[in-house]
Structure 1
Amino acid sequence: MRRARVPALVAVVCTALGALAAPAAAESADVIQWVAMGDSYAAGVIPAAGVEVTGGGQRDGCARTAGSYPEVLRTRLGDAIDLTNVSCGGATIAEVVSDPQSPNGYNLPFFEVYDPGYPFSPVDPQVSAIPESANVVSVQVGGNTLGFAELIYVCLQLGSSADKDTDHPCADYFTSGGDGVPTITERLTEVSRQYGEMLGTIQAVAPNAKVLALGYPAIIPEDPSTCAYGFDAAGLRNFATATYPDLDFLRTEVLERFNATIAQQAATHNVTYVDVYTPTVGHDVCSSDKWIEGLADRSGGWALVHPNAAGHARIADLLEAAVGLG
């Protein structure tokens, strides 16, 4: 996800969180114009989500990968769709709608990973890629506006000197409102406002498009004690030193409320909410059959809590079904 505004290391962690124009489009030979937008959860970004794909051989720093769900759909559906993939690792809602983004690529100094292409030139706001004639627009964004990578980083930082079974220093930190730190409720209120404005903008640009607003997957298990704790290899494949009560907090008070916020705005704007959370339960970071990698993946490579290729394939299934192509 995107670099955050607080501790210096957060910048690294953040890098590495209408109707279909023709209702019978899926039943005819018409090509569906599809624009895929979003952050790293759409772009792929991590090695476990495939190799990087580039347009015309030129890297723009957005780190879109071959195993990401937009590219999976491109391969699966072939000539049935004309897909434009402008998703970009680190994107905020504002960078989807109005602000240029300066992508980070794979520049991860904390992991001693340095991208020879960094720094990259700014890319245009993603909404500028939507033609008025678009049939489908999918968007998965909001995690960087919420600051989810910042939350995870602070949780593992504070949890390193806490009792893993009973302490909840991270929940306290993000609910107290002390030191000027925005609370979870304040963050979600701002996400809701920006998300609603974004959906309105998409509808104005492509009034006949079917808009798909994607939630985020089940990252954290219902029983956090199944997660390995510590900075050893097993812990890094999960959430390192985030305590179990804090993981519960991240699941129920952050991620589930975040998805509910997206769903509510989708309903308000009469667009299709795609529930990614429910179908991925049981395949979280701490599962033996994981669709979301932890801070590191199973090979020891960086992952920073992102979907792997299996997770993206499942999301592609959900999107196919949402437009009647599955």
Structure 2
Amino acid sequence: MRKLSSSRSRVAVLFAVATGAVLSGAPVAEAASDGYVALGDSYTAGPNVLPPDRTAPSGCARSLANYPHLVASALGLQLDDRSCTGAKTENVTATAQFPDQPPQITALSRTTKVVTLGIGGNDNNTFRDVVAACIAADSATPVGTPCKDTYGSTFVDNIHADAPVIGAAIARIHQTAPAAKVFVVGYPDILPRNGGCYPQVPITDGDVAYVDGIETELNTVLRDQAQLHNATFVDTYTPSLGHDACQAAGTRWIEPMTPGADAATLHPNAAGMRADAVAVTAAIRNARPA
């Protein structure tokens, strides 16, 4: 991947800070004997969505109103939420993200019944780098498709190269929790398919479509890997169309660069978390035997 310039790097740092608010909390509890385990990154954790989970590991910025908590409440499941802002696939299966956040898979056991996995956007720093690169390119030339013209298929190529890593993570979840039904949760619509909202999100209309295409490609990879590895893909993108970060407050489920509600930049607000919970709850109910 082409290296970011210093201005792009500054935008990347701002985006990382916005999505990685630190919460103080107790060390991770031991794995639950059964029930529902939520694995994932910030789109699962819900940074800045109130109220915060003050028992979460420091740095994870987890919300008590994220979709795992809402799903567990709706279905009467015992929840062990290990989602963590900034998590990559390696932090699910192999590498501790923080000293008090071991690999998320350590929450699973042979009696775990339900697992949700929302991951992939931080692999290769995809979301962060796309946002940083396009804001930097489009601020310099705020017409046309300067970001697409500069980076082309770079981000999509990285996503496809990472597909086997996602697949291996799903397979590892099945091995660790053989009795569990596994649900791979996609990403909601972040930016509109057509048009934009410059400068609320300082990306040109043409590059908004480019960024949206990168996200839909990631969702396609997640869906395909779920199907290949005996998991259910949960589409949160389609239900969220028309609720992207360019919509008015009260309509949008994703907050823009300067959030107008309790949420991180370009992340789900409380309404977005409720919408994701509806989709995930329905998927779990549909997968249960009659």
Q: TM-score range by the shorter chain?
A: 0.7 to 0.9
- Counting only pairs closer than 5 Å after superposition, residues 1-326 of structure 1 correspond to structure 2 as 7-16=9-18, 33-46=35-48, 49-55=49-55, 59-77=57-75, 80-102=76-98, 121-146=99-124, 147-164=126-143, 167-175=144-152, 183-225=154-196, 227=197, 229-230=198-199, 235=200, 239=201, 241-252=202-213, 254-288=214-248, 289-298=251-260, 303-324=264-285
Give the AA of the match of 1:67: A
Instruction: Tell me the number of residue pairs that the alignment of Structure 1 and Structure 2 aligns.
Output: 266
Segments of 5+ residues of structure 1 without an aligned counterpart are: 18-30, 103-120, 177-182
The residue identity in structure 1 corresponding to 2:122 is: N
- Normalising by structure 1, we get a TM-score of 0.76
TM-superposed CA distance for 1:8, in Å, is: 4.4
Contact 1:295 1:302 in 2 (8 A): no
User: Which of these two proteins has the greater Rg computed from alpha carbons?
Assistant: 1
What corresponds to 1:114 in structure 2? none
Runs of 4+ aligned structure 1 residues displaced above 6 Å come to none
The Cα RMSD (Å) is 2.3
Contact 1:40 1:91 in 2 (8 A): yes
How much has 1:186 moved relative to structure 2? 2.5
Q: Could you say if the C-alpha distance between residues 196 and 320 of structure 1 is closer, same or farther in structure 2, counting changes exceeding 3 Å?
A: same
The TM-score, its normalising length taken from structure 2, stands at 0.85
Identify if the C-alpha distance between structure 1 residues 15 and 139 changes in structure 2 by more than 3 Å, giving closer, same or farther. farther
The structure-2 alpha-carbon separation of the partners of 1:224 and 1:175, relative to structure 1 and needing over 3 Å to count, comes to same
Q: Deviation digits for residues 289-309 of structure 1, max 9, x if unmatched?
A: 10011112125x772200000
How much has 1:15 moved relative to structure 2?
Answer: 4.2
Instruction: Give unpaired runs (5+ residues) of structure 2.
Output: 20-32
> How many Å separate the matches in 1 of 2:145 and 2:140?
11
1:17-51 CA distances to partner (integer Å, 9 max, x unpaired)? 7xxxxxxxxxxxxx9710001000000012xx212
Distance in 2 (alpha carbons) for counterparts of 1:195 and 1:15: 25
Shift of 1:163: 3.3
Aligned residue type for 1:298: G
Identical amino acids, percent of aligned pairs: 31
